[in-house]
Amino acid sequence: MHIQRYDIAVLCVENDKMQELNRMYRGMDRPTDVLSFPASEVRAPGKLPDPWSDLADLGDIFLGVGLINDQCKQEGTNLELVLPAIITHGFCHLMGYDHETKEQWEEMREQERSILESFNKLTGHRTRPFVSVLP
């Protein structure tokens, strides 16, 4: 994987806003940890537009920091350690990956693993993919 120029917005919101967004866009009346909203239709997973085109804005990633903090407390970790994996998960959704089926899950997990492997080499971290449970 090589670096290209794209725009992505990452917004941190509380549980009530995440619940509202999750209800509006997914029909689920509960907060969630991450929601991604692609700026344009993705042709196929991983097929990104020309980075110098008007489509270089990939979209928005909303992070439910309240729920993420609660999950961190339950798992004995902290936001700083899980944030790279959660943002990578949202980024993969912006690139058209999903995890509704076992095949999609495997493809998305591999993409997350690849991105985080590069991240870990640059930072010395040991971040693992966020998608850890089969659908």
Distances (CA, A) of 84 to 29, 55, 126: 26, 24, 10
Q: How confident is the model at residue 110, as a pLDDT? A: 93
Task: Quickly state the pLDDT bin for 67 (edges 50, 70, 90).
Answer: very high
pLDDT higher than threshold 70 for residue 114: yes
Are 61 and 51 contacting, i.e. CB atoms less than 8 angstroms apart?
A: no
From CA 14, how far away is CA 21, in angstroms rounded?
11
CB 30 within 8 A of CB 66: no
Please write the tens of the pLDDT for every residue from 41-55: 887 888 877 767 776
What's the average model confidence in pLDDT over 98-106?
91
DSSP strand pairing (7-13 vs 57-64) = parallel
pLDDT band at 79; cut points 50, 70, 90: confident
CB 31 within 8 A of CB 18: yes
Say if CB 125 and CB 84 are below 8 A apart: yes
**Predicted pLDDT at 56:** 79
pLDDT at 129: 83
Residue type, 98: D
Average pLDDT over the chain, rounded to an integer: 88
Q: Give Cα separations from 46 to 13, 57, 96, 111 (angstroms).
A: 27, 15, 6, 9
Check the CA dihedral 46-97-89-76 and report its sign. Answer: negative
> What pLDDT does residue 133 have?
53
DSSP label at 91? H
What's the pLDDT score for residue 42? 82
Comparing 25 with 49, which gets the higher pLDDT? Answer: 25
Query: What was the pLDDT predicted at 132?
Result: 56
